[in-house]
Amino acid sequence: MTLVMGILNVTPDSFSDGGRWHTADAAIARGIALAEEGADIVDVGGESTRPGATRVDPGEEVTRVLPVVEALAGEGITVSIDTMRARTARAAVDAGARYVNDVSGGLADSDMARIVAELECEYIAGHWRAFRDTTDSADAFEDVVAEVKNELLQRVVAFQDAGVETSRIIIDPGLGFGKGPHENWRLLAHLDVVGSVAPRIVVGASRKRFVGAAIARDGVDDASPESRDHATTAITALCAQQRMWAVRVHDAKAARDAIQVVSAWQNAVDEER
């Protein structure tokens, strides 16, 4: 059954909920709540990856996430660290995180592959080409599905060459990272092709701009990220139907409910075969 990865931003400037869980106590309480609401994994991030975000000092990133990771892992919660820095990845895994979720696929830090190999942890490689200043500054793709597949394969091979076991590598097509609405929907429509690179895929569409554009009324998108939650849950259901490994979401309860409904439906179909 598709897993739920609950998003926990310990940042003041996330596009969706920046500042809401910025203190350690608030973040820890939110992480526990996400697990209680159905998150199988709580993904803790100390640096915003929204377009135009200013990079945080490496020491500050560690200071933000470490007490949260330690506390949640101490509660028996499975934790992922959302970071592009090998230093932060090492500190978080040492503190109890089981997954490193790197939206850059190792391109932002040349030490990441080596560190992940040493840590022997699970690694999520996101598709990414470069830092972007705005959401609209999409890369030029001639065939986004083929190019994302091939570029993710290159990242997988790079980590294999560094000594990371293939079974520990998970991929993420990087929805919204240098991609316009058309490219994002094309990737969602062809997850089976992208999935030929690795058997486990994380889909992170939650509250993103292209989701809002799809549900806009008269061409006007409600700018509130929370207004995109129902549409995000629809994507979650479709991902569960395709048996994706995990979805990365803000609303863990809605995602869990959608996945359980799809599972019950699939079980009923399977019984009749």
Q: Indicate if 149 belongs to the active site.
A: no
Kindly give the pairing relationship between strand 246-249 and strand 3-9.
parallel
Q: Give whole-number Cα distances, 132 to 4, 55, 139, 179, in Å.
A: 27, 12, 10, 10
Give the active site residue among 30, 149, 168, 248.
Answer: 248
Q: How far apart are CA 177 and CA 103, in angstroms?
A: 9
In 3-state terms, what secondary structure has residue 116?
Answer: helix
Q: How far apart are CA 125 and CA 127, in angstroms?
A: 7
Give the active site residue among 168, 179, 208, 228.
Answer: 208
* Residue listed under structure tokens 């395709």: 242
Q: Indicate if 248 belongs to the active site.
A: yes
3-state helix, strand, coil in the chain (%, to 5): 45, 15, 40
In the DSSP assignment, the letter for residue 168 is G
**Residue 253's Cα: distance from chain center in Å?**
17
Q: What are phi and psi of 96, to 5 degrees?
A: 125, -5
Q: How far apart are CA 93 and CA 83, in angstroms?
A: 11
Nearest to 145 by CA among 93, 184, 104: 184
Q: How far apart are CA 228 and CA 234, in angstroms?
A: 10
**Residue 164's Cα: distance from chain center in Å?**
20
**Residue 195's Cα: distance from chain center in Å?**
15
Catalytic residue positions, numbered: 208, 248
